[in-house]
Amino acid sequence: MRELLVRMMFCEMLGHKVEFGYINAINTTQEPNIKDKRAGYLAVCQLIREKSELMVLLVNSLRRDLESPNFLEVMASLTTIAHLASAELIPVLLPLVEQCLTHPKALVRKKAVMGLHRFHSRDGECLDGTLDKCKKVLCDSDPSVM
């Protein structure tokens, strides 16, 4: 499936319509294999637009991966959130992204900050309750998180 998603992204870059495969990209994000999952999230980021009706189908995968113990799955979902999150998804995903601010891995915390930045750019008032957590992130021990 990964190879087909890569070919689909290439066809889209060439200007061909590949809407028929969007649902397959979303389904690939639910695969247990991390390589397939990351390819699915990459395809979703490249192919599906923020205002697409298919974003509703992606929310369940994002929520499940944000709660995963595997940090690679968490990072893949946070990257997708940083690229595609719309104002409608903020109430659903904000508590899970906030939890990622205290993750032991610095890369996950960095991606969580990127996701919060996306939320703030879509709805400036959504982060009013998280001001203390944002201040703590500014004093993170890893400079890449800031």
Task: Give the residue-averaged pLDDT of 30-42.
Answer: 94
What share of the chain has pLDDT > 90, as a percent? 64
Q: What pLDDT is stored for residue 100 in this prediction?
A: 92
How large a percentage of the chain has pLDDT more than 70? 99
Give tens-digit pLDDT for 83-119: 998 888 899 999 999 999 999 999 999 999 999 999 9
CB contact at 8 A, 26 and 1: no
Mean pLDDT rounded to a whole number for the chain: 90
Q: In this predicted model, what pLDDT tens digit does every residue of 48-65 receive, in sequence order?
A: 988 888 888 899 999 999
Q: Cα(89)–Cα(81) distance, rounded to whole angstroms?
A: 9
CB atoms within 10 A of CB 70: 11
**In b/e form, how buried is each residue of 23-38, taking b as 16+ CB within 10 angstroms?**
eebbebbebeeeebbb
Q: Any idea what the Cα angle at residue 57 is, between residues 56 and 58, rounded to 5°?
A: 90
